[in-house]
Amino acid sequence: MRVLGIETSCDETGVAIYDSEGGLLGHAVFSQVDLHAEYGGVVPELASRDHVRKLLPLVRQVMAQTETTPADLDGIAYTAGPGLVGALMVGACAGRALAYAWKLPAIAVHHMEGHLLAPMLEEKPPAFPFVALLVSGGHTQLVDVRGLGDYALLGESLDDAAGEAFDKAAKMLDLDYPGGPRLAALAEKGDPQRFTFPRPMTDRPGLDFSFSGLKTYTLTTVREHALEDGLPDEQTCADIAAAFQEAVVDTLVIKCRRAIQASGHRTLVIAGGVSANKLLRERLEARLAEEGASVYYPRHEFCTDNGAMIAYAGYLRLQAGERTGLAVDVRPRWPMTELSGSDIRNGSGNGDKDHNGSLA
Per the annotation, where are the binding residues for Fe cation? 111, 115, 305
DSSP 160-209: S-HHHHHHHHHHHTTPPSSHHHHHHHHHTTS-TTSS----TT-SSSSS-B
Angle at 91 between CA 86 and CA 92, to 5 degrees: 90
Q: Is 233 left (phi over 0), alpha (psi -120 to 50) or beta?
A: beta
| Contact predicate 78/355, CB 8 Å | no
Q: How many whole angstroms separate alpha carbon 296 and alpha carbon 50?
A: 33
Long-range CB pairs of 237-240, under 8 A, 24+ apart, other chains included: 237/173, 237/186, 237/190, 238/186, 238/187, 238/189, 238/190, 238/191, 239/190, 239/191, 239/192, 239/194, 239/195, 240/173, 240/190, 240/195
Which H/E stretch holds residue 288? helix 278-289
Q: How many whole angstroms separate alpha carbon 177 and alpha carbon 9?
A: 18
**Bind-site residues:** 111, 115, 134-138, 167, 180, 277, 305
Q: How many whole angstroms separate alpha carbon 315 and alpha carbon 308?
A: 10
Which H/E stretch holds residue 295? strand 294-296
Provide CB contacts within 8 A for 222, sequence distance 6+. 172, 173, 231, 232, 240
- 13 by DSSP, 3-state: which? strand
**Bind-site residues for substrate:** 134-138, 167, 180, 277
